[in-house]
């Protein structure tokens, strides 16, 4: 900019205005409460339950509630252990996978959840997943033959992706399969993975190459990610060839693409062409032992976070779309993590066997940033629930004026 | 007119003026050098013409003087050789005899010759070529342009247009067919290379037999996007047929486009003759015209584009709606950057298919305004139904749903400097927006969208390094504030002030005050931010006492105060402190360092760490000792490191090593704990040894050095019940013998502990390696460290490639787990053989066999849990080509399921993934069969979809070079597809019969 008196006068005037405005700070209002859904089993495996914990509640002066407040009135009993929780993209529907005599999905309306109103926790329907699989796929003679060990839900809630592993249900050995099941009220379609490769990881829904696809990991002589576009689910194709000998064990969504877990690394897969775009390892090369979930919410939002179980707890990558030289893998101490989710206020909630631990993700950036370890901000013991899954939705709190 | 004499090359100039006979003789002698002549063509721009005769020893050049009627003469060069090539800038003429008139720029070919231009080749008799204008005449010509063959008795080329009289468009002419499969004979053909071919009076011939005639044929030759195009798609009972015509047009000097007429035809498949029945899919019942246009235009300031597509509502007489009314258009205009201010861009778009009921409007204007770049933008989704759930094309999470107006003043990279201050990044943005409410802002919730005005101000004030004597001050203040009509504000504000006081050689003192805050509220989801406020003060100091007397000694300190942290309120107060004293820093053989860490906020006196080291000077022999001692100064508080459990204890380590590197070294690591808690004092356990490690190394483990190595480590606990109770023994040994390398690694825990590591690996260069895990070479009993009898032991044998076999990878592994049983035996379980093989694209037998393959095998074997072995998984992906005649490709897979209850294989599925066998008996024919199916081969009553059914899809392709036919027959469903098109593609006219014949199989066998 060339100096001239008129411009300097204008700049000085603007500077004065700007500096004056700089004196103004932001407003302080009450934020929207968050309901943390924790699913599991209250008795070690025979039945299931959903508990709701409330966070970010209004804090009247001198009466600060605990960071993860138990809401005993919002508890639901289910006939079988809850193994997976998923939330639709708009945050209004919660899907809880459980197994009683067969696999079922309890669907809850979370759009009007009120922490003060037990009747606001509404179970809208139950999807008989095992029956749908048995009706649509050969090789499943009875609903109980399907044995889902992990689940994801499509953006519109019309499809679910599950891993069927008969070994988990005890009476047979076989090859894990990735199943795509139409769970719309009148849906009858289901598709199984093709070929003879293992499907070792929970399949995911992801927007790849511009279309929402069902993606699953296959492992044989080589590992690959195969997909079915939801608009034409009968056609399957190989999206990413991961090469021979790769010991791929997990699949997630993050950073606008896919993330594959190999024994000692998280590998980002480009959403456009399926190539490897980045790779992360823990500082001490501790092996990852399983991707729990990826990304904030259900994994399809704009966030690029990825996290996985490690030998010592949780390994977290803030943005898998970034250059690994700029974003390190940080770890958080949380022995035996079962599931995790990133909430709207930048806390990573990790469900352990009998407690939920919240890690502050903002401590990874800015002042006093800690690049090495996730800092546990608070935790809460679960009341008589062995946790297996965790998810979050927004809620209202009718106990306070809004 | 400028004339240039022919330019001589390689000695030809010497012969130019000699009589013709002598010149010819000279030519014969110098033919190996090839002849070159420069021609002088009239006009201002002289051109160089080169004539070559190659290696022909009989090449001849005659220089003829031709008398003209006016008495003047003209020189003509006549060149004869086995192959004469005349090259101009754009034209290449090939012949065996040609006459070149340089003054007229005319070449006459005597006999048959060939004239080539970029994208155009003409072959003919007695051709006359004007090099300047491109005119050409000749007889018995073949014109090859844009892959089109035109044969004619006579042809003329004038200004890029080739006229052929009594010609024939013969696509099969290039295929060497004696009798062409098909051709188009025409009374007259006009060929415009790169644009189109027009033929009048056309007769279609098949194998030289006239079949039918039509008056006019237009064939587009232009770039596909700018070519007229006709597409016909057959309809059926569900989908209408389509006839589509794309017609490029030019509208004046600054506009062009493509107009498209799309006729949608409602057909009755049960009726119709040859044309409508076969081509259109049935008798046409109703027609709907869906026009579209793609128009581009340019003006002095920029360029625009208008794309419109319209489908009127289309209903049958019975009221069935065949098509809803749909409009899609995009109108854009943008000024060029070079055309100056104001920079304008407009966009108006609607797409009823993708975003029904949504009209998108965007308008941007930008211009310089004093020191600022001023820009105005409006971006509106105009919705007929305000409650409609629409998502504009710009909605990506960071852009508002609607921007009724936004005015921005941005100083860009401009800065204002006054003294040490620099003001930069100034921008003001005033606008009104509409977007989804921020879900975390409770006061904004209540509807799908919220609208509000917003003022955004951002700037950055930087204080450059300002010196006041020994004091240096610097700082920055970056601010972004957003102020909303609702009264809410959101601020992102980061400030830093730092002062450093230099004490010259005696040290320095530094102070940094930082504050970073993101706080407030936004009503809009697109501006949602992560909120956090933190402010702290840090103080750093360095003191170098007596720098000349005690060099290398310094005292450093770090402390601070956290004023606020709303994410971690418990951290407000003193920050942890750290004081470090270093000395002997400039002495090679010794160092001493003491670090005190404390946490005043917790009133924790913290810890003192002392590190001291001694080492020998550089030399052949090396020895060193390092002592670390930590002393907890406060027994009542946890250590300074937050989240760490209270220790109330100190600890120390001593590491000592000595030896000759690469020959023999020995090392000792020893540690101790100091516990001063009351309980420890009472139990007289204030000092305890931690495990001691002794290490010794002989030789080196570097690969290929032919020096064997042995490294051993013994870790023992001096505090154990028995003196020197072993914690771990580990040794590794390596040896290189020729191309082989052997590695042994074993470890043992304390007596009775779980099995340690036992690994033996033998590698042959980088070609092959074998490895055994889990089998002890040296039993633990032999060294007094028996392993736990009750622990499971994993044993595995692996053979794998070493990465050095190009294009070949293999791995085979046998593994099992031995687990003790209650009766004292060991059971073997999880026994499994797994193997994989990759063979890259390889050829054998001098190329006769070409193959690539990838195979995998997974077999659980019989053991004490698995009653019998069974094939769990296997697959083979293969591509084989034999003599370029027979090919096999695809993937075969098998997966089995074993029922432990019935002790039998419950299911075995064999999968064929696009397994294709292809036979190519000659260049024209390709025959094959494809199988894509899964069969249940073990269960007695498989599901219908899994029954054995080997009926393939058969296909055949007939490639006639200038056309091709494809046929596909699904022998299972009876579907037959016939395609007539171009070689190499499967696109073209398609005839499909859904209910063709099937091959009977299984239950269908008895059916007629």
Size of interface A-B (CB pairs under 8 A): 198
Percent of chain B at pLDDT > 70 equals: 90
**Contact across the interface for B428 and A221, Cβ inside 8 Å:** no
B96 sits in the region (left: phi over 0; alpha: psi -120 to 50; else beta) called alpha
State both tokens at A295.
């990304």
Contacts of A266 (CB under 8 A, 6+ apart): A259, A260, A279, A280, A281, A288, A291, A306, A308, A315, A317, A320, A329
Chain B positions touching A369 (Cβ under 8 A) are: none
A136 and chain B: CB distance < 8 Å anywhere?
A: no
Looking at CA atoms only, how far is residue B234 from chain A in angstroms? Answer: 22
Q: What is the pLDDT of residues A347-369, one digit of tens each?
A: 889 998 889 988 888 877 655 56
pLDDT band at residue A398, thresholds of 50, 70 and 90?
confident
Degrees (nearest 5) of the Cα angle B580, B582, B587?
A: 165
Confidence (pTM): 0.76
Residues linked to residue B355 through DSSP beta bridges, in sequence order: B351
Q: Do B838 and A222 touch (CB under 8 A)?
A: yes
Q: Above 50 in pLDDT, residue A123?
A: yes
Q: How far is A154 from chain B (nearest CA, A)?
A: 19
pLDDT value for B9: 34
Q: What is the model's pLDDT at position B986? A: 60
Angstrom distance (rounded) from CA B364 to CA B347: 9
Dist CA A54 CA A90 (whole Å): 19
Query: Is residue B893 within 8 angstroms of chain A, CB to CB?
Result: yes
- DSSP, residue by residue, B267-299: EETT---IIIIIISSSEEEEEEEEEEEEEEEE-
Mean pLDDT of B134-162: 82
B residues 113..172 contacting A (CB < 8 A): none
Residue B369 forms contact with A (CB below 8 Å):
no
Tell me, yes or no, if A398 comes closer than 8 A to chain B by beta carbon: no
Q: What is the pLDDT of residue A19?
A: 62
Contact B371/A175, CB-based, under 8 Å? Answer: no
> From the list B416, B567, B897, which residue is nearest A11 (CB)?
B416
- Whether B532 has its CB under 8 Å from any CB of chain A: the answer is yes
Beta strand B415-418 pairing with B421-435? antiparallel
Structure token digits, residue B131 = 């090099």
Pick among A348, A367, A375, A400 to test the B interface (most B CBs inside 10 A) = A367
pLDDT tens for B812-863 read 999 999 988 888 788 898 899 999 998 888 888 888 999 999 898 999 999 9
What is residue A244's predicted lDDT score, i.e. its pLDDT?
A: 66
pLDDT tens by residue, B101-124: 888 888 999 999 999 988 788 898
**Chain segment A234-277, per-residue pLDDT in tens:** 888 888 888 765 678 888 887 778 888 887 788 888 888 888 88
For residues B230 and B248, the answer to whether their CB atoms sit within 8 Å is no
A20 inside 8 A of chain B by CB: no
Query: Does the distance separating the beta carbons of A346 and B875 come in below 8 Å?
Result: no
Residue A377 has pLDDT above 90, yes or no: no
pLDDT digits (tens, 9 = 90+) for B468-514: 888 999 999 999 999 999 888 999 999 999 999 998 888 999 999 99
Question: Tens digit of pLDDT for each residue in B548-558?
Answer: 777 778 899 99
Query: Is A197 close to B416, i.e. CB distance below 8 A?
Result: no
Q: Is the pLDDT of residue A127 over 90?
A: yes
Chain A within 8 Å of B477 (Cβ-Cβ)? Answer: yes
The minimum CA-CA distance between B877 and chain A, rounded to whole Å, is 10
Q: Which long-range contacts (CB under 8 A, 24 or more apart) does B891-895 make?
A: B891/A195, B891/B915, B893/A195, B893/A196, B893/A197, B894/A196, B895/A174, B895/A175, B895/A196
Min Cα distance B905 → chain A (Å) is: 9
The pLDDT, as a whole number, for residue B36 is 38
What's the distance, CA B410 to chain centroid?
A: 36
B183-207 confidence digits (pLDDT tens) = 889 988 988 877 778 888 889 898 8
**Cβ separation B426–A14 shorter than 8 A:** yes
Residue A373: predicted pLDDT = 77
Q: Sorting pLDDT into bands at 50, 70 and 90, what band is B747?
A: very high
Lowest-pLDDT range of A203-217, A293-307, B162-176, B235-249: A293-307
Q: Tokens 């055994």 sit at which residue?
A: B772
Percent of chain A with pLDDT over 70: 84
pLDDT digits (tens, 9 = 90+) for A17-46: 556 555 667 677 778 889 999 999 997 778
At B650-687, the pLDDT tens digits run 889 999 999 998 889 999 999 988 887 777 778 887 88
> What is the structure's pLDDT at B15?
31
Q: How far is the CA of B87 from the CAs of B90, B115, B293, in angstroms?
A: 8, 10, 44
* Residue B4 CA: distances (Å) to CA of B38, B41, B66, B356, B789: 8, 8, 19, 71, 104
In the structure, what pLDDT confidence band is assigned to residue A1 with cuts at 50, 70 and 90? very low
Instruction: Give the residue on A whose Cα is nearest the Cα of B872.
Output: A174
Q: Does B483 touch chain A (CB under 8 A)?
A: yes
Secondary structure element (H or E) that encloses residue A133, with its range: helix A129-136
pLDDT digits (tens, 9 = 90+) for B919-951: 999 888 999 999 988 888 877 777 777 788 889
B753 or B18, greater pLDDT = B753
Helix (H) or strand (E) holding A339: strand A339-342
Tokens describing residue B492 = 């992102």
Q: Which of A27, A195, A222 lies closest to B489 in CB terms?
A: A27
Q: How high is the mean pLDDT of chain A?
A: 82
- Say whether B24 sits in a helix, a strand or coil: helix
The predicted structure's pLDDT at residue B26: 36
Q: By the CB < 8 Å criterion, does A139 face chain B?
A: yes
- Cross-chain Cβ contact A28/B519 below 8 Å: yes
pLDDT number for residue B224: 64
Torsion, Cα A136 A140 A142 A147, to 10 degrees, reads -100
- Report pLDDT for B341: 86
| ipTM exceeds 0.95, yes or no | no
Question: In chain A, what is the straight-line distance between the N-terminal and C-terminal CA atoms, in Å?
Answer: 50
* pLDDT for the residue numbered B570: 79
Q: Chain A contact for B894, CB < 8 A?
A: yes
Q: Does residue B386 belong to the interface with chain A, where contact is any CB pair within 8 Å?
A: no
Task: Please give the pLDDT value at position B987.
Answer: 63
CB of B943 within 8 Å of a chain A CB? The answer is yes
Question: What would the mean pLDDT of B854-874 be, rounded to a whole number?
Answer: 90
Cβ contact, residue pair B371, A12, below 8 Å: no
Q: Tell me which long-range contacts B716-719 makes (C-beta under 8 A, separation of at least 24).
A: B716/B691, B716/B692, B717/B689, B717/B690, B717/B691, B717/B692, B718/B689, B718/B691, B718/B692, B719/B688, B719/B689
| Cβ-contact B325, B311 below 8 angstroms | yes
Q: Which residue of A has its CA nearest to B493?
A: A22
**Nearest CB to B907 within list A12, A139, A194:** A139
Q: Residue A236: closest CA among chain B residues belongs to which residue?
A: B913
With bands split at pLDDT 50, 70 and 90, how would you rate the model's confidence at B373? very high
Tell me the mean pLDDT in the region B58-82. 86
**What pLDDT score does B653 carry?**
92
Averaged pLDDT for residues B967-976: 89
Asked whether A261 and A291 are in contact (CB, 8 A), the reply is yes
Is A171 in CB contact (< 8 Å) with chain B? yes
Q: Compute the average pLDDT of residues B310-337.
A: 88
Report the pLDDT value the prediction gives residue A294, as an integer from 0 to 100: 63
> A-contacting residues of B 541-570, CB under 8 Å?
562, 565, 567-568
How many other C-beta atoms can be found within 10 angstroms of the C-beta atom of residue A199?
23
Chosen for mutation from B440, B455, B798, B932 (greatest number of chain A CBs closer than 10 Å) is: B440
Q: Is A168 on the interface with B (CB under 8 A)?
A: no
Residues A139, B909: C-beta atoms closer than 8 Å: yes
- The answer to whether B483 contacts A6, with C-beta atoms less than 8 Å apart, is no
Contact yes or no for B416 and A1 at CB 8 A: yes
Optimal mutation site among A22, A200, A304, interface B, most CBs of chain B within 10 A: A22
Are the beta carbons of B457 and A12 separated by less than 8 Å? Answer: no
Per-residue pLDDT at A292: 67
Determine the residue among B409, B488, B873 to mutate to test chain A binding: the one whose Cβ has the most chain A Cβ atoms within 10 Å.
Answer: B873
| Per-residue pLDDT reduced to its tens digit, A167-192 | 888 766 778 899 999 999 988 899 98
User: What is the band of B28 on the pLDDT scale with cuts at 50, 70, 90?
Assistant: very low
Residue A172: enclosing H or E segment and its boundaries? strand A172-173
Pairing status of strand B471-484 against strand B489-502: antiparallel
Q: A17 touching B, CB under 8 A? A: yes
Test B414 with A1 for CB contact under 8 angstroms: yes
Residue B314 neighbours by CB under 8 Å, 6+ apart: B264, B266, B286, B288, B321, B322, B323
What is residue B47's predicted lDDT score, i.e. its pLDDT?
A: 66
A62 interfaces chain B, CB cutoff of 8 Å = no
pLDDT at B23 over 60: no
Please, what is the average pLDDT of chain B?
84
The CA distance from B416 to the nearest CA of chain A, in Å, is 7
Instruction: Test A220 with B856 for CB contact under 8 angstroms.
Output: yes
B459 with A220: Cβ contact below 8 A: no
Contact between B895 and A302 using a beta-carbon 8 Å cutoff? no
Q: Is B942 on the interface with A (CB under 8 A)?
A: yes
More confident of the two residues A349 and B981: A349
- Tell the burial category of B757 from Cβ atoms under 10 Å away from its Cβ (0-12, 13-18, 19+): middle
Residue B639 and residue B602: Cα distance in Å, rounded?
10
Would you call A32 and B445 a contact, using CB atoms and an 8 Å cutoff?
Answer: yes
- Nearest chain A alpha carbon to B860: A173
Please check the confidence at residue B453 and state whether its pLDDT lies above 60: yes
């Amino acid at each position: 900019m060339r100096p001239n008196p008129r411009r300097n006068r204008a700049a000085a005037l603007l500077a004065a205005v700007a500096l004056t405005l700089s004196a103004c700070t932001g407003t302080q209002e009450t934020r929207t409460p968050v309901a943390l859904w924790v699913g599991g089993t209250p008795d070690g495996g025979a039945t299931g339950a959903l508990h709701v914990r409330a966070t970010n509640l209004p804090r009247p002066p001198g009466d600060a509630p605990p960071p993860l407040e138990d809401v005993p009135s919002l508890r639901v009993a289910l006939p079988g252990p809850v193994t997976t929780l998923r939330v639709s993209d708009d945050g209004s529907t919660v899907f809880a996978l459980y197994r009683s005599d067969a696999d079922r999905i309890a669907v809850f309306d979370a759009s009007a959840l009120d922490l003060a109103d037990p009747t606001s926790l509404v179970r809208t329907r139950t999807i008989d997943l095992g029956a749908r699989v048995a009706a649509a796929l050969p090789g499943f003679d009875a609903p109980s033959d399907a044995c889902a060990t992990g689940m994801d839900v499509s953006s519109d809630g019309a499809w679910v992706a599950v891993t069927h592993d008969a070994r988990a249900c005890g009476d047979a050995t076989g090859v894990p399969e990735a199943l795509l099941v139409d769970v719309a009220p009148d849906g009858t379609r289901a598709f199984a993975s093709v070929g003879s490769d293992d499907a070792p990881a929970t399949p995911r829904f992801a927007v790849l190459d511009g279309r929402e696809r069902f993606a699953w990991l296959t492992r044989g002589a080589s590992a690959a990610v195969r997909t079915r576009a939801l608009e034409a689910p009968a056609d399957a194709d190989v999206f990413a060839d991961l090469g021979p000998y790769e010991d791929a064990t997990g699949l997630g969504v993050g950073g606008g693409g896919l993330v594959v877990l190999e024994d000692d690394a998280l590998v980002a897969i480009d959403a456009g062409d399926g190539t490897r775009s980045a790779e992360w390892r823990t500082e001490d090369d501790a092996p990852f032992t399983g991707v729990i979930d990826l990304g904030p919410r259900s994994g399809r939002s704009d966030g690029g976070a990825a996290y996985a179980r490690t030998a010592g707890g949780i390994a977290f990558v803030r943005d898998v779309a970034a250059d690994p030289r700029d974003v390190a893998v940080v770890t958080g101490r949380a022995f035996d993590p079962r599931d995790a989710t990133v909430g709207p206020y930048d806390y990573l909630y990790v469900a352990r066997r009998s407690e939920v631990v919240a890690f502050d993700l903002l401590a990874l950036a800015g002042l006093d940033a800690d690049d090495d370890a996730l800092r546990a901000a608070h935790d809460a013991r679960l009341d008589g629930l062995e946790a297996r899954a965790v998810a979050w939705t927004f809620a209202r709190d009718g106990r306070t004026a809004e | 007119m400028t004339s240039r004499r022919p330019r001589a090359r390689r000695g030809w100039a010497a012969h130019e003026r000699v009589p013709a006979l002598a010149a010819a003789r000279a030519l014969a002698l110098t033919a190996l050098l090839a002849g070159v002549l420069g021609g002088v063509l009239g006009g201002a721009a002289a051109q160089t013409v080169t004539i070559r005769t190659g290696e022909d020893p009989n090449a001849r050049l005659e220089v003829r003087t031709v008398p003209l009627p006016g008495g003047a003469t003209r020189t003509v060069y006549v060149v004869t050789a086995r192959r004469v090539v005349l090259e101009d800038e754009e034209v290449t003429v090939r012949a065996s005899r040609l006459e070149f008139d340089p003054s007229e720029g005319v070449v006459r070919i005597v006999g048959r010759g060939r004239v080539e231009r970029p994208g155009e080749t003409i072959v003919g008799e007695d051709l006359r070529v004007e090099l300047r204008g491109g005119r050409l005449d000749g007889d018995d010509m073949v014109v090859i342009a844009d892959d089109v063959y035109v044969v004619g008795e006579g042809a003329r080329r004038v200004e890029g247009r080739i006229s052929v009289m009594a010609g024939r468009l013969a696509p099969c002419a290039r295929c060497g067919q004696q009798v062409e499969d098909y051709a188009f004979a025409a009374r007259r053909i006009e060929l415009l290379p790169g644009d189109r071919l027009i033929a009048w009076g056309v007769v279609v011939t098949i194998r030289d037999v006239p079949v039918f005639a039509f008056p006019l044929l237009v064939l587009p030759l232009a770039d596909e996007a700018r070519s007229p195009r006709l597409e016909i798609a057959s309809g059926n009972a569900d989908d209408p047929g389509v006839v589509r015509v794309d017609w490029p047009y030019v509208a004046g000097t600054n506009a062009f486009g493509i107009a498209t007429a799309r006729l949608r035809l409602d057909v009755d498949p049960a009726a119709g003759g040859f044309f409508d029945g076969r081509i259109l899919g049935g008798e046409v019942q109703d027609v709907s015209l869906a026009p579209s246009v793609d128009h581009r235009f340019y003006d002095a300031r920029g360029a625009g584009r208008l794309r419109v597509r319209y489908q009127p509502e289309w209903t049958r007489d019975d009221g069935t709606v065949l098509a809803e009314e749909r409009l899609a258009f995009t109108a854009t205009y943008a000024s060029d950057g070079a055309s100056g201010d104001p920079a304008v861009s407009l966009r108006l778009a609607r797409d009823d298919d993708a975003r029904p009921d949504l009209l998108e409007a965007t308008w941007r204007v930008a211009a310089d305004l004093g020191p600022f770049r001023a820009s105005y933008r409006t971006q509106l989704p105009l919705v007929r139904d305000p409650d409609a759930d629409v998502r504009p094309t710009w909605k990506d999470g960071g852009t508002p749903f609607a921007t009724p107006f936004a005015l921005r003043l941005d100083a860009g990279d401009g800065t204002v400097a006054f003294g040490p201050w620099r003001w930069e990044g100034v921008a003001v943005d005033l606008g009104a927006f509409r977007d989804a409410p921020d879900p975390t802002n409770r006061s904004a919730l209540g509807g799908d969208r919220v609208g509000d005005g917003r003022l955004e101000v951002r700037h950055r004030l930087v204080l450059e390094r300002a010196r006041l004597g020994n004091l240096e001050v610097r700082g920055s203040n970056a601010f972004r504030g957003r102020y909303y009509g609702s009264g809410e504000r959101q601020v992102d504000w980061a400030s830093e002030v730092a002062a450093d006081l230099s004490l010259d050689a005696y040290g320095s003192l530094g102070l940094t005050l930082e504050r970073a805050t993101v706080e407030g509220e936004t009503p809009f989801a697109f501006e949602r931010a992560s909120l956090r406020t933190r402010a702290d003060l840090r103080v750093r100091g360095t003191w170098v006492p007596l720098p000349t007397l005690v060099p290398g000694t310094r005292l450093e300190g770090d402390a601070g105060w956290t004023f606020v942290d709303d994410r971690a309120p418990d951290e407000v107060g003193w920050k942890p402190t750290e004081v470090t004293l270093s000395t002997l820093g400039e002495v090679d053989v010794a160092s001493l360092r003491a670090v005190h860490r404390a946490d005043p906020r917790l009133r924790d006196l913290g810890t003192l760490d002392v590190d001291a080291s001694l080492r020998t000077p550089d030399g052949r022999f090396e020895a060193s000792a390092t002592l670390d001692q930590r002393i907890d100064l406060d027994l009542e508080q946890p250590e300074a490191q937050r989240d760490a459990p209270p220790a109330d204890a100190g600890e120390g380590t001593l590491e000592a090593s000595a030896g000759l590197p690469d020959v023999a070294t020995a090392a000792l690591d020893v540690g101790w704990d100091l516990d001063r808690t009351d309980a420890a004092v009472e139990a007289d356990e204030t000092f305890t040894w931690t495990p001691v490690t002794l290490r010794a190394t002989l030789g080196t483990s570097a690969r290929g050095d032919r020096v064997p190595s042995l490294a051993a480590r013994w870790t023992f606990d001096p505090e154990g019940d028995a003196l020197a109770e072993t914690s771990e023994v580990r040794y590794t040994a390596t040896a290189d013998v020729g191309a082989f390398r052997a590695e042994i690694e074993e470890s043992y825990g304390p007596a009775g502990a779980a099995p340690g590591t036992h690994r033996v690996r033998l590698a042959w260069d980088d070609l092959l390696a074998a490895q055994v895990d889990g089998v002890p070479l040296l039993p633990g009993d032999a060294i007094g460290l028996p392993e736990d009898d009750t622990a499971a032991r994993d044993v595995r044998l692996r053979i794998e490639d070493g990465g050095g076999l190009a294009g070949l990878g293999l791995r085979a592994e046998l593994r099992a787990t031995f687990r003790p049983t209650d009766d004292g035996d060991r059971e073997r379980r999880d026994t499994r053989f797994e193997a994989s093989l990759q063979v890259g694209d390889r050829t054998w037998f001098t190329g006769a066999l070409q193959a690539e393959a990838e195979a995998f095998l997974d077999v659980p074997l019989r053991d004490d849990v698995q009653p019998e072995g069974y094939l769990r998984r296997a697959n083979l992906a293969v591509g084989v080509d034999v003599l370029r005649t027979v090919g096999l490709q695809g993937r075969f897979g098998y997966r089995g399921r074993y029922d432990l209850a019935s002790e039998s294989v419950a299911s075995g599925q064999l999968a064929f993934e696009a397994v294709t066998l292809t036979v190519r008996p000659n260049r024209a024919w390709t025959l094959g069969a494809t199988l894509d199916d899964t069969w249940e081969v073990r269960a007695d009553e498989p599901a219908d979809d899994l029954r054995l059914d080997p009926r393939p899809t058969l296909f055949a392709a007939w490639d006639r070079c200038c056309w091709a036919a494809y046929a596909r027959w699904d022998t299972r469903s009876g579907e037959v597809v016939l395609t007539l098109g171009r070689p190499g593609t499967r696109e073209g006219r398609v005839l499909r019969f859904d209910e063709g014949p099937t091959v009977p199989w299984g239950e269908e066998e008895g059916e007629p």
